Amino acid sequence: MHLILGSVGVLLPLSLILLLDKAPVASSTYVPVRCKCMNLMKQTRGPPLDFSVSEKNAHCHTDEILVKVRGNDKLLCLSPTGRQGKRLLRCWRRVNSQGKDKKQCLRTRKNRRNRQNHKNQRKTKKATS
């Protein structure tokens, strides 16, 4: 009788270890506890190279725009109420709804106007030829 209880006492922990070893591991996700941006800028110096947007959530009451600028390794926080922030945010929402690339939001208006003028000049040259 003591032999049976002794073997059960050894086999039970051993079987539990084997079962727990095969159990799937739960993955965890990072949930921010507060806003990422504490110091907001109205605009950046120089053209932005890349940006990311975090929309309003339970932990942060405003949209956050993180901008990467040439010559600066840090991400800068752009104010969503400033002119540049509003433009990027509006473009980002439009691009996301259409499923396009966000890089087109980084083009300046001046460059877009020059491209349009260049396209129009090409069309008039083709029409006159």
Asked, for residue 16, whether it belongs to a domain, the answer is no
Q: Which two tokens stand for residue 72?
A: 């600066």
- Give CA–CA dist 35/61, Å, rounded: 8
What integer pLDDT is reported at residue 19 of this predicted model? 64
Domain of residue 55: give its range: 34-108
Domain count for the chain: 1
Write the CB contacts of 68 (distance below 8 Å, at least 6 apart in sequence).
48, 49, 50, 51, 75, 76
Asked, for residue 7, whether it belongs to a domain, the answer is no
Name residues of the chain where pLDDT drops below 70: 1-11, 14, 16, 18-26, 30-32, 108-120, 122-129
What integer pLDDT is reported at residue 88 of this predicted model? 92
- Give CA–CA dist 126/113, Å, rounded: 20
What integer pLDDT is reported at residue 129 of this predicted model? 58
Asked, for residue 55, whether it belongs to a domain, the answer is yes
What integer pLDDT is reported at residue 28 of this predicted model? 73
Q: Which two tokens stand for residue 95?
A: 């691009």
Asked, for residue 26, whether it belongs to a domain, the answer is no
Q: How many residues does the chain have?
A: 129
Asked, for residue 114, whether it belongs to a domain, the answer is no
What integer pLDDT is reported at residue 23 of this predicted model? 56
What integer pLDDT is reported at residue 89 of this predicted model? 93
What integer pLDDT is reported at residue 114 of this predicted model? 61
What CATH number is given to the structural domain containing 60?
2.40.50.40
b (16+ CB within 10 A) / e for 42-77: eebeeebeebebbeeeeebeebbbbbebeeeeebbb
Asked, for residue 49, whether it belongs to a domain, the answer is yes
Asked, for residue 125, whether it belongs to a domain, the answer is no
Asked, for residue 92, whether it belongs to a domain, the answer is yes
Write the CB contacts of 55 (distance below 8 Å, at least 6 apart in sequence).
63
What integer pLDDT is reported at residue 18 of this predicted model? 66
What integer pLDDT is reported at residue 26 of this predicted model? 65
Q: Which two tokens stand for residue 37?
A: 């941006």
E strand map for 8-126: 48-54, 64-69, 75-78
